[in-house]
Structure 1
């Protein structure tokens, strides 16, 4: 089933390497704006096939202490933001992939 606590960035790197990947890293800028506030509970709900798993992999790769993704994110849209590395790889992340329950 995989690593749940502080996962590495393998799933994100696999997603990023596909032809269909679209850089949505500025989503992390929005998430960073609510870290340590009363609004820091976020729910990503989108219709089927809208990239929830890819977004989850990206978010996990950004925040997880289990990997160093500075070089990867510095080359993305988020890397152009002044404080892109403020929370980069600073949190313990628990990643649950509910898609695995159905396989």
Structure 2
């Protein structure tokens, strides 16, 4: 057996595996970690944050008659000695922030 053919076959196999992995990753949308990063970057524009969390499983949210698969999370901000908590919902397909509300 020719070693060049074996090396070529291994290289083509590795490349095919990489392409399939990337296609599957793109189809899944946004990971919970990426969704939390998006939210934190958005909240940091209005000042520092002191804590954050996110649920790892997507859930359903209906907003203005449209159904979304979203990640739910929260951010804490400290301002003037008071801590305010916000809850956010991020579309798990696009990474768009769908809703933000002050948590009670």
Shorter-chain TM-score: what band?
under 0.3
Which is greater in Rg?
A: 2
Report the TM-score, using the length of structure 2 for normalisation.
0.24
Report the TM-score, using the length of structure 1 for normalisation.
0.25
Q: Larger strand proportion, structure 1 or 2? A: 2
